Amino acid sequence: MKRWMNYAAACTFWIFPLVYADDLTGAVALPGLESDPPNTASPGDCGVSVVAGRVSIDLSLTVAGESALLLQTPLFGHRGPPDPYPERQFPELTIGINGQSRALNDRFEAFVGTRDVTMLVQTAGMDPWTITHTPPLTTSAGAGEPILKFLIRVGAIEPSGRDYLAKWQARRVIRVPLESAQVQHVQLDYALRPANTVIPVEQLDTTTREKAYCLSPSSLRRITHKGSDHSRLGVSEFSIATGIDGKPPGSVTISMSPATGIDSKHHGYLFLCGPHGKPIATERALTRERAEVDDLGNLHVLAVIEAAPP
């Protein structure tokens, strides 16, 4: 545990918004935008900024007729106290159109398996996001006995003393109307939820990472030659959706500032793909660097901290 905390202290100076005592936490990515009706908004150029664990996106749009933007967060249920990202509905998310913040027209959808229990949870007056709490306790909120019995019968809640445990899964659905102009800009701002892990240096190079981040032998040597064979790395991996309707933007630029405070004993690195698969590997901050995204418009970033064994 002591060694992990030494690595964690170094990583918090770099990109990790949160670091946990378990060795690996799965990433939670905000999904890409959709247009409503479909294909009525096309992505243009996109600028991405990552600072102190938050991402800001500015995406230009070409709009055909009356249109709106839709965003659905991942469907999830209560995952227990080890979950580093219980608020998978992204409550901190803000969306602006042409630089003006918009009040979000959002709702929730709740399910037990394939059964839609949204109206039941609403009628019972229960908070759909109680599933982000541990334990996920909810009260009856004045709900009548028949609806409570039905919620229990379908497996949406479970009695727990005078309260109930929420057993449903839920997602957040957001709709933002666009303006009438043909060319517009949408801005999104939210907290990153990366996958964090600590690994031996020799485990960094995998086929998956080579493809996702354009890792190259030369860029990896910059890490491996500075530490012993037993060096361990703090690794943070995340993706950022930049397109609309699964279509990538015409271009993507990224600015990314490592926080100050990395001392001479720790080296931080950023890895991602540049245009035409050119590797980007740097210890410095990125300033409007051209980046390459995948076929669906997802930008993949790998941040690494090297720490000598204590």
Q: Is residue 83 a part of any domain in this protein?
A: no
Give the confidence band of 3 by pLDDT, cuts at 50, 70, 90: very low
Render pLDDT for 241-289 as a digit per residue (tens, 0 to 9). Answer: 999 999 999 999 999 976 433 344 566 889 999 999 999 998 878 999 9
Q: In whole angstroms, give the CA distance from residue 273 to residue 302.
A: 10
pLDDT at 209: 92
On average, the pLDDT of the chain sits at 86
Report CA torsion sign: 5, 10, 13, 14. Answer: negative
pTM (global) more than 0.85 = yes
DSSP conformational letter for 143: -
Q: Is residue 96 a part of any domain in this protein?
A: no
Say if residue 1's pLDDT is above 90: no
User: In the sheet that 298-307 helps form, which strands lie side by side, from edge to edge?
Assistant: 24-25, 195-200, 232-241, 298-307, 266-273, 279-282
pLDDT at 20: 34
Q: Is residue 150 a part of any domain in this protein?
A: no
Contact 301, 238 (CB under 8 A): yes
pLDDT at 223: 65
Render pLDDT for 26-37 as a digit per residue (tens, 0 to 9). Answer: 899 999 999 999
Contact 280, 274 (CB under 8 A): yes
Question: Please, what is the end-to-end C-alpha distance for the chain in angstroms?
Answer: 12
- What is the DSSP annotation of 14-75? TT-S---SSSEE---PPPPBEEESTTSEEEEEEEEEEETTEEEEEEEEEE-SS-EEEEEPPP
Q: Is residue 67 a part of any domain in this protein?
A: no
Cβ neighbours of residue 208 under 8 Å, at least 6 residues apart?
none
Give the confidence band of 78 by pLDDT, cuts at 50, 70, 90: very high
User: Pick from 131, 140, 137: which is nearest to 111 by CA?
Assistant: 131
Q: Select the more confidently predicted residue: 8 or 124.
A: 124
Q: Which amino acid is at 275?
A: P
Q: Is residue 286 a part of any domain in this protein?
A: yes
Q: Is residue 125 a part of any domain in this protein?
A: no
Q: Is residue 177 a part of any domain in this protein?
A: no
pLDDT at 183: 96
Mean pLDDT of 62-70: 95
Say if residue 206's pLDDT is above 70: yes
Structural domain of 241: 2-30+192-307
Give the confidence band of 309 by pLDDT, cuts at 50, 70, 90: low
Q: Is residue 136 a part of any domain in this protein?
A: no
Residue 196 DSSP SS3? strand
Helix, strand, coil percentages for the chain (3-state, nearest 5): 15, 40, 40
Split into its structural domains, the chain has a count of 1
Give the confidence band of 225 by pLDDT, cuts at 50, 70, 90: low
DSSP conformational letter for 260: S
pLDDT at 62: 97
Say if residue 133's pLDDT is above 80: yes
Task: Tokens for 216, please give them.
Answer: 């190259």
Contact 236, 194 (CB under 8 A): yes
